[in-house]
């Protein structure tokens, strides 16, 4: 039963190795070997759906590697499992690291170390990756360059750590029962969240699912929150105030477990209306939007202890009519080129 | 046609300012600026510029050291003058014209290695010109380079005890004294400045670093505003001046020697001085948030005052801090270069 999952993890190893010591040819080879010709490759805004592995390489990886010449990929969590629909997924959470030597996406270089979190999910069919859903935390790079052009985060902005237990890449054989229990916990928690609209905060029963010392590692622009109160204060209350009608796109989402870890990916995974004040300092104008939110959870003794969340905020702002990269360019290069 | 010496000297300097600004807008080269300066200065012009410009002789050297590079970096430079007056130096009767305010422009290209912002920059300045025979014989120019660095996002010094911002001109908005002022008022201002300097010199001699506020109240207005250089900042009221500048300055510096001024003059309610250097002292630790030094260092200072009745109400101060720090082995301009131009290329 676990054989396909461990095998899928192993199948990604050549790609991960090629990205660790980024080497253009090795990455090209590894992508070709593992990714199906007709795979659906989705990377957050501004990359969006990429036609094939060559496009992934040329539009995303090559520019990154030329801006960060010593590019290195560091995985902190690697999990595999199958979701209710039977699809097989591998999820990777970690960060790209390098020396920021040249501009990337017009973000000005700092000549100093730079890091960017990623959440990347790979779906397997018959030994091949047929779908990729991935978000890179580009706002994290803007912040390190001092050119994040939008409102400051309510939470703490930092380089989100790996799991407290340091076992995100543990080779312990996947236990089906334990994995199912973790999925069950997260699933019940998610159902609890959906009761907010009718029953308010109490109906979500957060303490039933969340450890009192939980950490919530949100995307740059929102930041990290600590404890249930911190999570409520710095993320959930503003989020629900702004978008009280948010609905998870349950049928298109993929939730799977691997021992104490659970992953979730969807493209998009939520739809909602920005109708209230409070979220990211954005004035609500009743815009309907969707959200790509890619999650990793770590469970501990029947409670959620850690949660890594990346939301494609640049895609959210694009839907709200704000081109974050364009505003960033105005901030970092105010008309000097025009003359 | 102006008739008095002071009004002729003021007209000369105002024309000089206009022509310099025009040369900047016309993107004149070094020779172009030298030509403008030569039109207003004696051939053996002696120019005192703060670090890193230094002392220069002749129009061409001044153009090369300061005006051509500044106007090359600051697009559409404007002189925004807040105080302008002329007076005779107390000790030798030399006629000086004093100008103070900001040099403003679009900071479009690096200046002294300070990275440009593409935005408005305000470089605070004070300029003293000694006029003989209708030409400039000597001139000093102080600019607040640390203030410019801060506008470029650099923090070459630790947090300041006061508050630094783009300082306003006089509260009374009468700082541009284009007409000659009543000599009785001018004499009263100069005499008040003299008494204040004498009071401070007495503290240097006695070694009293924490004088009571009453001592300052002899010459300072209760509502005194002190606009210090970036790195120190501004303070308001006698008590806060003492807490935020005077005590840190006096207790953080030792072996203080007053060397006199090259020019000290006044007109109407305004007066001021500069020295080259005014002071010599040694860092005892704490001043500017920096550690002690075993090296005595010279301090070049400009003070411009506004008198209100029989008290000094406002005081704009520039100190050549980069020069003072360099003598102790700290090169703030070089460090900023390292900070902004780190490269592995």
Provide the shortest C-alpha distance from residue B216 to chain A (in Å).
Answer: 44
Q: Beta-carbon neighbour count of residue B267 at 10 Å?
A: 26
List pLDDT tens digits, range B64-117. 999 999 999 999 999 999 999 999 998 999 999 999 999 999 999 999 999 999
Burial class (CB in 10 A: 0-12, 13-18, 19+), A275: middle
Of A296, A324, A267, A336, nearest in space to A141 by CA:
A324
- CA geometry: angle B153, B158, B159, nearest 5 deg: 80
Quote the CA–CA distance of B140 and B128 in Å, as a whole number: 5
pLDDT at B41 over 50: yes
The residue of A147, A336, A337 whose CB has the most chain B CBs within 10 angstroms, and thus the best one to mutate to test that interface, is: A336
With CA atoms as reference, the chain A residue closest to B343 would be: A111
* Exposure string over B278-287, b if 16+ CB within 10 A, otherwise e: bbbbbbbebb
Q: Please check whether residue A136 is in contact with residue A116, taking contact to mean a CB–CB distance below 8 angstroms.
A: yes
Which residues of B sit within 8 Å Cβ distance of A?
108, 116-119, 153, 342-345
pLDDT at B37 over 60: yes
Check if A332 contacts B (Cβ < 8 Å).
no
The residue of B73, B117, B118, B155 whose CB has the most chain A CBs within 10 angstroms, and thus the best one to mutate to test that interface, is: B118
| Predicted local confidence at residue A248, as pLDDT | 83
Instruction: Read off φ and ψ for residue B260, nearest 5 degrees.
Output: 90, 175
Q: What is the full per-residue pLDDT of chain A (339 aa) written as tens digits?
A: 467 999 999 999 999 999 999 999 999 999 999 999 999 999 999 999 999 999 999 999 999 999 999 999 999 999 999 998 889 999 999 999 999 999 999 999 999 999 999 999 999 999 999 999 999 999 999 999 999 999 999 999 999 999 999 999 987 889 999 999 999 999 999 999 989 888 999 999 999 999 999 999 999 999 999 999 999 999 999 999 999 888 887 678 999 999 999 999 999 999 999 999 889 988 899 999 999 999 999 999 999 999 999 999 999 999 999 999 999 998 887 665 544
| Predicted local confidence at residue A96, as pLDDT | 98
Report yes or no on whether pTM surpasses 0.80.
yes
Q: Are the beta carbons of A146 and B153 separated by less than 8 Å?
A: yes
| Predicted local confidence at residue B342, as pLDDT | 57
Quote the CA–CA distance of B180 and B99 in Å, as a whole number: 15
Inter-axis angle of helices A3-20 and A24-34, nearest 10: 160
Quote the CA–CA distance of A196 and A271 in Å, as a whole number: 15
Of B179, B122, B184, nearest in space to B2 by CA:
B179
Q: Please check whether residue A182 is in contact with residue A174, taking contact to mean a CB–CB distance below 8 angstroms.
A: no
Residues of A in contact with B340 (CB under 8 A): none
Residues of A in contact with B343 (CB under 8 A): 101, 111
Quote the CA–CA distance of A256 and B38 in Å, as a whole number: 81
- Name the DSSP class of A68: S
Residues of A in contact with B118 (CB under 8 A): 333-336
- Name the DSSP class of B184: H
Q: Are the beta carbons of A335 and B345 separated by less than 8 Å?
A: no
Provide the shortest C-alpha distance from residue A100 to chain B (in Å).
Answer: 10
Provide the shortest C-alpha distance from residue A21 to chain B (in Å).
Answer: 19
Which member of A101, A334, A336 has the closest CB to residue B344? A101
In the numeric block, which tokens belong to residue A59?
A: 């539009």
B144-155 mean pLDDT: 95
The residue of A70, A111, A338 whose CB has the most chain B CBs within 10 angstroms, and thus the best one to mutate to test that interface, is: A111
Bridge partners of residue A49, in order along the sequence: A42
Check if A273 contacts B (Cβ < 8 Å).
no
Bridge partners of residue B315, in order along the sequence: B226, B305
How many residues comprise chain A? 339
Instruction: Please report which confidence band the pLDDT of residue B183 belongs to, taking 50, 70 and 90 as the band edges.
Output: very high
Q: State whether residue A180 is helix, strand or coil.
A: helix
With CA atoms as reference, the chain B residue closest to A338 would be: B118
| Predicted local confidence at residue A42, as pLDDT | 98
Sheet holding A210-217, edge to edge: A224-226, A210-217, A303-311, A293-300, A261-265, A254-258
| Predicted local confidence at residue B340, as pLDDT | 76
What are the residues whose beta carbons fall under 8 Å from the beta carbon of A301, sequence distance 6 or more? none
């Amino acid at each position: 039963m676990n054989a396909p999952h461990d095998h899928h993890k192993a199948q990604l190893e050549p790609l991960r190795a090629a990205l660790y010591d980024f080497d253009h040819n090795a990455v090209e080879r590894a992508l070709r070997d593992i990714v199906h010709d007709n795979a659906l490759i989705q990377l957050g805004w501004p990359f969006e759906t990429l036609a094939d592995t060559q496009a992934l390489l040329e539009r995303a990886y090559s520019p990154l590697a030329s801006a960060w010449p010593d590019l290195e990929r560091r995985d902190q969590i690697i999990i595999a499992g199958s979701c209710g629909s039977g699809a097989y997924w591998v999820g990777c959470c970690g960060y790209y690291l390098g020396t920021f030597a040249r501009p990337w996406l017009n973000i000005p270089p700092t000549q100093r170390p730079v890091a960017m979190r990623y959440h990347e999910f790979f779906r397997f069919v018959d030994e091949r990756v047929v779908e990729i859903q991935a978000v890179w935390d580009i706002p994290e790079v803007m912040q390190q360059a001092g050119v994040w052009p939008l409102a400051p985060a309510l939470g703490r902005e930092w380089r989100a750590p790996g799991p407290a237990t340091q076992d995100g890449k543990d080779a312990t054989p996947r236990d089906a029962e334990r994995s199912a229990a973790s999925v069950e916990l997260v699933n019940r928690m998610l159902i609890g969240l959906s009761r907010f609209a009718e029953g308010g905060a109490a109906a979500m029963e957060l303490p039933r699912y969340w450890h009192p010392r939980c950490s919530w590692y949100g995307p740059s622009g929102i930041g990290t929150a600590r404890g249930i109160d911190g999570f409520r204060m710095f993320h959930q209350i503003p989020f629900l105030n702004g978008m009280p009608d948010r609905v998870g796109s349950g049928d298109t989402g993929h939730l799977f477990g691997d021992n104490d870890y659970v992953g979730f990916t969807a493209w998009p995974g939520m739809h909602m209306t920005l109708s209230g004040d409070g979220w990211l300092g954005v004035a609500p104008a009743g815009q309907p939007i969707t959200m790509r939110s890619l999650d990793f959870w770590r469970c501990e003794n029947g409670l959620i202890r850690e949660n890594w969340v990346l939301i494609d905020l640049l895609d959210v702002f694009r839907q709200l009519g704000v081109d974050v990269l364009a505003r960033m360019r105005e901030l970092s290069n105010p008309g000097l080129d025009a003359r | 046609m102006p008739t008095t010496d002071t009004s002729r000297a003021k007209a000369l300097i105002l024309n000089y300012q206009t022509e310099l600004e025009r040369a900047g807008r016309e993107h004149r080269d070094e020779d172009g600026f030298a030509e403008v300066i030569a039109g207003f200065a004696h051939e053996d012009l002696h120019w005192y510029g703060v670090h890193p410009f230094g002392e220069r002789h002749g129009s061409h050297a001044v153009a090369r050291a300061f005006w051509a590079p500044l106007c090359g970096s600051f697009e559409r430079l404007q002189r925004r003058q807040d105080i302008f007056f002329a007076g005779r130096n107390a000790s030798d009767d030399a006629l000086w014209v004093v100008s103070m305010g900001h040099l403003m422009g679009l900071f479009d290209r690096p200046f002294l290695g300070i990275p440009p912002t593409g935005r408005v920059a305000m470089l605070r300045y004070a300029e003293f010109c000694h006029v003989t025979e209708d030409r400039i014989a000597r001139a000093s120019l102080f600019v607040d380079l640390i203030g410019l660095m801060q506008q470029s996002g650099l923090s070459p010094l630790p947090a300041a005890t006061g508050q630094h911002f783009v300082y306003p001109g006089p509260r009374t908005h009468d700082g541009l004294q284009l007409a000659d002022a009543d000599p009785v008022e001018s004499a009263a201002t100069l005499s008040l400045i003299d008494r204040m300097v004498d009071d401070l010199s007495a503290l240097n001699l006695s070694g009293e670093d924490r004088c009571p506020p009453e001592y300052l109240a002899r010459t300072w207005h209760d509502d005194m505003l002190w606009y210090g250089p970036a790195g120190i900042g501004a303070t308001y009221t006698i008590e806060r001046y003492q807490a935020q500048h005077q005590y840190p300055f006096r207790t953080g510096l030792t072996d203080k020697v007053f060397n006199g001024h090259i020019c000290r003059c006044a007109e109407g309610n305004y007066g001021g001085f500069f020295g080259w250097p005014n002071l010599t002292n040694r860092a005892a630790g704490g001043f500017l948030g920096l550690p002690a030094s075993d090296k005595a260092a010279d301090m070049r200072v400009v003070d411009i005052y506004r008198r209100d009745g029989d008290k000094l109400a406002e005081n704009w101060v520039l100190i050549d801090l980069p020069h003072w720090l360099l003598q102790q082995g700290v090169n703030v301009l070089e460090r900023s270069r390292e900070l902004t131009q780190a490269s592995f290329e």
